[in-house]
């Protein structure tokens, strides 16, 4: 899921692969609530995972790509270390 998240961020935000690191803040990437919703939708489509609405709501409290990845993995009932899909 982390790899899919990184790929979605690169594609949707138009940033380079190297710009997306666990410690990179969402603000540095220009991610606001609308872009976050687009990223979540993209992840659902690409991975087939259904992410609960609270995953999207919880993103507003997170600051880094790593925190978002962990939050999504928990919301999708995946382990945080899962790099699949």
Q: Is residue 39 in some structural domain?
A: yes
Domain of residue 27, residue span: 2-75
CATH number at residue 41: 1.10.1200.10
Q: Is residue 84 in some structural domain?
A: no
Q: Is residue 80 in some structural domain?
A: no
What pLDDT is stored for residue 82 in this prediction? 46
If one counts the domains in the chain, the total is: 1
Calpha distance 27→48 (Å, rounded): 27
Q: Is residue 21 in some structural domain?
A: yes
The mean per-residue pLDDT over the stretch 39-62 comes to: 80
Query: 81 near 2, Cβ under 8 Å?
Result: no
pTM for the whole structure:
0.79
Q: Is residue 69 in some structural domain?
A: yes
The mean per-residue pLDDT over the stretch 19-28 comes to: 92
């Amino acid at each position: 899921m982390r790899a899919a998240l990184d790929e979605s961020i690169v594609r949707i935000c138009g940033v380079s692969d190297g710009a997306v690191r666990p410690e990179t803040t969402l603000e540095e990437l220009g991610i606001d609530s609308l872009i976050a919703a687009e990223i979540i939708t993209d992840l659902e489509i690409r991975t087939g995972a259904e992410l609960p609405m609270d995953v999207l709501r919880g993103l507003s409290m997170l600051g880094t790509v790593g925190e978002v990845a962990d939050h999504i993995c928990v919301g999708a009932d995946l382990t945080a270390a899962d790099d699949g899909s």
